[in-house]
Each structure stands twice: as C-alpha cells, then as structure tokens.
Structure 1
Amino acid sequence: MIYIVVLNWNSDQDTVKCIKSLLNLKCINEFRIVICDNDSKVESFQKIENYLKMEHADKTISLNERDIDSFKVSNEKIILIKNNENYGYAGGNNIGLKLAMMQDGMQYAWVLNNDTEVDKDALTALVEKMLSDAHIGLCGSRLVEMETKYKVQALGGTINPWFCTTREIGSDLTITDIVNEEEWEEKIDFVVGASLFFSRFCLEKVGLLCEDYFLYYEEIDYCNRIKQNNLKIGIASKSIVFHEQGASTDKGKSKIADFCSIKNRVLISKKFYKSYTLFVRISLFGVAINRSFRKQFDRIPSILHLIIK
C-alpha cells in the first residue's frame, strides 16, 4: 500500500486539481490519498471537504489532527486531515506521514506538492525505480513546468556549501529526453521537495522530515540524513510530475518565504556544513544590499540579525 500525502494551505483549487490527477493514476500497487490541511482559512478547507463529499463521499473520511493516533484505515481511499495549526512544510506533511506509518501494509509514502498534477504512470515509475535498487531510500520525479507541459523544471538540485545557496538542475531537458539516471544521481545533492517518494524502511531508519525550517531546505536536510544512514537518493525520470512552482508562496516573493529562504541557509550550514557557516553569514550582507536595491527595507533588520545571531 502506498500513501500519497498532499499538503494544503489556502490553495484549495490547486489541491482539488491535484486530487483529480491522482485519482487517474494507473498502478498495480494500491494507494490512498492523505490530504493534510495546514490550518487554512475555513473556506479553503471547506471547499476541499465539499468537493470530496460531492464527488467521493463513499470513499472519504475527514479527521482532526488529534484523531490520527488511534485511526486505522479500513476502506477509505481519501483521508482529509485538519491540522490544528500551520506547521510549515515538514510539520504539515509529517502529520500525514505519521498516519501512514501507523497503518499495516504501508510500503511507500509519496509527499507531493498540492500545486502539482501527475502523469497517470508517475507512481508506477517511482515504484519500479525503488525496486531496482534496495539501497534507494528516497526517490524524485521528473518535474515538468505546468505552463508548458514540456520543459523540464528539475531532475534534482545541488547546494553550494560556501553560501548554502541551492540550484535546481535539469532545466535544459524536455519531457521526452532520455535520461541516464545513474549519471544524474551522481550530479545531484538532493531531490526536489515537490515530489518525495520514501520507502518505509527509509522513514523508519532516517525518521520524518525535520521541522526546524518551516519552509525550504527540508529536502536537503533529509537527503543529507539519508546519506549519513548509508542509503541513496534516486531519480525516476519516467515519473512525470507537472509543477506550478511557488503557487502557495507567491513564487517565493512573500516576506515569510523570503525570510525562511535566508534563515535556513544559516541553519543548514550549522547542521551539515559547519566549516562554511562564517562564509554563509558574511554572504548575507550581499542579500541585505540586494533587498535595499529592491526597496524592501523592512526585511533588512531580520537579515542583519541572522548575521550576528
């Protein structure tokens, strides 16, 4: 059994589109969909709940976060969970992962952004990749731009330890290009968080997503922990996932998204790249200057605080 975890925060239209695409998946493995609502506005949660009641009432159950510890799935296909607060990316998804881990027969968990739509064979490709190498604990998809449905957004990402800045790679490819997965797996440092496919063994050995970041860098943290546990990260290039990047964060321009992207550079350097932390802090002076050029003066004090903290 595969549990597909999708996180919603005030973006019900995207979430409903994602659910519809997931229900069209063709896979010999059974799967269930777990929607975790991160304490959205009431109307956002209700729109998702109403859609499920109208279209899939016979196979849907709604739960509160407090109910999951004692919940055992029976015939439900879709589980909608109302989180008590906004726990961020990791915390919100971890609610769904915890529920999945408590269920008998759970083999894999797929954490999928709600601003995605999947090809009907995307899940099959992920399972096949996992079965090809028992050492793979986490696998990513071929992320394709939602707008073009043709141009690749990313096959994975790299991190520059000097500044702890990240870069998604693979954008020179198209949806039809043949990929040497082993070569690309040597190039990447992490799997992009829009599509994270975990084995149960990996979740049991490595643990859940780290909740220290709130937004951004969680997948880098997890991929580093995977390597520390002598497991591998993989790419399933035939798993096609269409992604509308940054739909819930104004494409990374919101103040909280901007702050997290800067703060977490320091946080991840202190955790995994300690010898570079000083350089990361110094580089934030450049970020502060950049924000002044943008006339985002209200963001500068928090950046300076990160430098001296």
Structure 2
Amino acid sequence: MDIKVYIVLLNYNNSQDSIECLESILKLQYFNYQVIVIDNSETLQYIEELQSWAEGNVMLQETSFKDILYPLEKKPLKFLSISEKDFLLESRNEKIIFVKAEENKGFAAGNNVALKYILNQNDFDSCIWILNNDTIIEKNSLSDIIEEIQKQNDSKTNIIYGTPLIEYENPEIVQSIGGWYNTKTGLTKHVGEGILIKEAILKFEKIVEKTDYPVGASMIIKYRDLESIGLLSEDYFLFFEEIDWISRAKKINGGVKMLPVFGIYHKQGNSTKSKIKKKKSEFIDLISMKSRITFAKKYNRKNLGFIYLSILTLTIGNRIRQGNFKVIPKILKVIFDTKK
C-alpha cells in the first residue's frame, strides 16, 4: 500500500497561487495524501476565498499550464477550515484542511503548525512534503518522489530530500536543483540555475555534488527523520531555514539528498513578493541579511567576521551605487542588533 504523504502549503495574503497549486495537487496520480494549508494572512479574506474555491464557487483564473491543470471537474471538495488552536487538538480526516494561524511568525513557524500536528498522528511510515503555494506540480511528481525515496538505502537516516524547481514562466529552464552556501560571505545561490532541463537530467549526479541544501519550495522528510531532526528553526522569519535544518541533520549523521524529479514549477518570489521591478523589497533585503547573520552565528562562527565585513563593504557599497541611501542605517541596525 502507498504510504501516506502530508502535503504542507503556507498561504500569505494570496489565494490565487494556492488555488492553482491545489488544483495541480488534485490531479496527482498518487492518492494517499492529505493537504494542510496554513494561512498566515493578515485578514480572513484569503482563507475565505480558499474555502469558497473548495465549495466550488471560485474558478481558477487563466493560466498557461492548461495541460497540467485542465480539465478539472468542479464540485465541492471534502475540506475542513479550522483555527490553529482547534486544529492541534485531534486528528482530522478531510483531504484538504485550511488552518488559520494565530499570527504570522514567518515561514518556519507557519510550517511548524502543520509539522506539530503531523508528529501527533504517530503515522510512523508517512512522509511530509513542504511545498510552496506558488508552485504547480505534474500529476506523476509525487509518485516519482516516493519511488525515488524508496530506492534509497534504508540504513540512511535523518535525510531531508529536495527536488529541482523549474521556472514557471519558462518551463524549459531549471530554476534550481538545490542551494549552495558560501562559508566566507554567508551568501547562498541556486545550483543549476538557468540550464536546460535536458542538460540537468544528463548531468544531475554531477550537479548535486555542489548542493548543500534543498530549496525550501520543495522539501520532503520522512516522519521518523522529522522526529529525530526536529521542527524547522523559528530563529528565522524567512530564509536559511532549509540550511539550518540540514545542518542539524548533519550533526546526527544525516544530510541532504536531491531527487531527480523534474515536475515542480515555481513562480520564484511570489510567496515572499520579493520581486519588485526585479529588485528585492527593503523588508526582504533586511530580513535575509538578518537570517544570514543568525545562521553564521549558529553554524559558521569562524567566518562571522568576514560576513560582517562583506555586509559593511560589498552590501553597503552596492546600496550606495544604487542610490538607496535610506536603507544603510537600517542595515547597520541589523548588524549591531545581531551582535548583541
């Protein structure tokens, strides 16, 4: 029998991306799953829109992925909408569960609401798929993920799996196969970004040698490994949660494993709204810098001085060249606040 997979989505001030993602999930050829959508939005508007969609009252807007998403029979779905407090009290059987978070405490904390619930189910053979709501997935993607995981050496434990991400707007191109961490600067970058899918498939094993962590838009973990490694660290509001998770796994002889499953399309930046005229918003810029320092203080202290120097020279220098002088005092505040 197929193992159960909990699919976890985080929704923030947006229902349309989540609806598109959910519609692709409903077309999966793997049927033993439950979807948990944690809504971190500031108002009730977006969870109400999700409920209305599940009731069959809201149609998906026009999309270029008709081959993946259509035709989808429109009918009321078996779903539950519930508060975070009540959600954690008992087991739920509905195929789709919408959970209104008590407050928005970031990516890790939002996903942890679902992970805490899953750990309480004692479903020891299950898997958890943390999936960005601004993705869509091909119908065979989950079957392929489970097949690849089952091929792995059963003696290996404390593994966090990831999948490549494909550009939503250019589905011939890889967005990332994973992430790489520069220990000297504390910066990260996508591995395999911009190459053709055909090339990525041919060179997959070589490419993943450079991968330090899976990109958080698509991460899979076995229930038993989640028990061992623990929840996502809430030391971060956004960014670096994935590499922190991997770093903790490595401390108990675990690590990362990238799976050659090319069926996840990602609208990069939509879930954080980080693309504004191709520039990061100030909030995202500062929060990523804070997370960069927080991670280094935990796992890369020997290079912390280099990282501060990189921010004081390269980062501030770039903002000066951009004419963005008003952000410089805020960058300095992040540095001095994190030094405390």
**TM-score, length basis structure 1:** 0.94
Match of 1:159 among 170, 173, 181: 181
1:294 Cα offset (Å) = 2.3
Q: Which residue of 2 aligns with 1:269?
A: 296
Unpaired runs of 5+ in structure 2? 57-73
Distance 1:38 1:187 in 2: 33
Distance 1:195 1:121 in 2: 15
Q: Which residue of 1 aligns with 2:66?
A: none
Q: Which residue of 1 aligns with 2:61?
A: none
Give the number of aligned pairs: 307
Q: Which residue of 1 aligns with 2:21?
A: 18
Is the 1:69–1:99 Cα contact (8 Å) retained in structure 2?
Answer: yes
Unpaired runs of 5+ in structure 1? none
SS at match of 2:55: helix
Pair 1:86 & 2:104 matched = yes
Alignment of 1:114-133 (within 5 A): 114-133=133-152
Is the 1:4–1:109 Cα contact (8 Å) retained in structure 2?
Answer: yes
Q: Which residue of 1 aligns with 2:253?
A: 230
Q: Which residue of 2 aligns with 1:33?
A: 35
Residues 153-197 of structure 1, C-alpha deviation per residue, up to 9 Å, x if partnerless? 111111101111001011243233424554343221111111011
Q: Which residue of 2 aligns with 1:254?
A: 281
Is the 2:47–2:98 Cα contact (8 Å) retained in structure 1?
Answer: no
1:204 Cα offset (Å) = 0.3
Alignment of 1:1-309 (within 5 A): 1-27=4-30, 30-54=32-56, 57-74=76-93, 76-105=94-123, 107-133=126-152, 134=154, 135=156, 137-177=159-199, 178-179=201-202, 181-252=204-275, 253-285=280-312, 286-308=314-336, 309=339
SS at match of 1:305: helix
Which structure shows the higher helix fraction? 1
Mean Cα deviation higher: 228-237 or 169-178? 169-178
Is the 1:282–1:307 Cα contact (8 Å) retained in structure 2?
Answer: no
SS at match of 1:161: coil
Aligned alpha-carbon RMSD (Å): 1.7
Evaluate the alpha carbon distance shift between residue 16 and residue 33 of structure 1 in structure 2; reply closer, same or farther with a 3 A threshold. Answer: same
1:73 Cα offset (Å) = 1.9
Distance 2:306 2:114 in 1: 37
SS at match of 1:47: helix
Which structure shows the higher strand fraction? 1
Identity %: 34
1:56 Cα offset (Å) = 5.8
SS at match of 2:197: coil
1:79 Cα offset (Å) = 0.5
Mean Cα deviation higher: 101-110 or 152-161? 101-110
Distance 2:195 2:149 in 1: 23
Q: Which residue of 1 aligns with 2:62?
A: none
Letter of the structure 2 residue corresponding to residue 50 of structure 1:
S
